Amino acid sequence: MSVPLSALALLLAGAAAAPAFADCKGLKVDNAWIPEAPPVASVLAGFASLVNDGDQPLHIDAVDGADFGSVELHQMSMEGGMMQMRPLQGLDLPAHGNVALAEGGKHLMLMNPKHPFKAGDASVVLFHCGKQATAARFTVKAAQP
Interface residues with other proteins (CB under 8 A)?
Answer: 35, 37-45, 70, 72, 74, 76, 78, 81-87, 103-104, 107, 109-111, 143-145
By C-beta, is 20 or 85 nearer to other proteins? 85
For 13-58, the DSSP string reads HHH-PPPSSPPPTTEEEEEEEEE---TT-SEEEEEEEEEE-SSS-E
**Shortest distance (Å) from residue 22 CB to other proteins:** 26
**Shortest distance (Å) from residue 96 CB to other proteins:** 28
Q: How far is CA 124 from the centre of its chain?
A: 9
**Shortest distance (Å) from residue 87 CB to other proteins:** 5
Q: Which of 12, 38, 7 is nearest to 123 (CA)?
A: 12
By C-beta, is 24 or 44 nearer to other proteins? 44
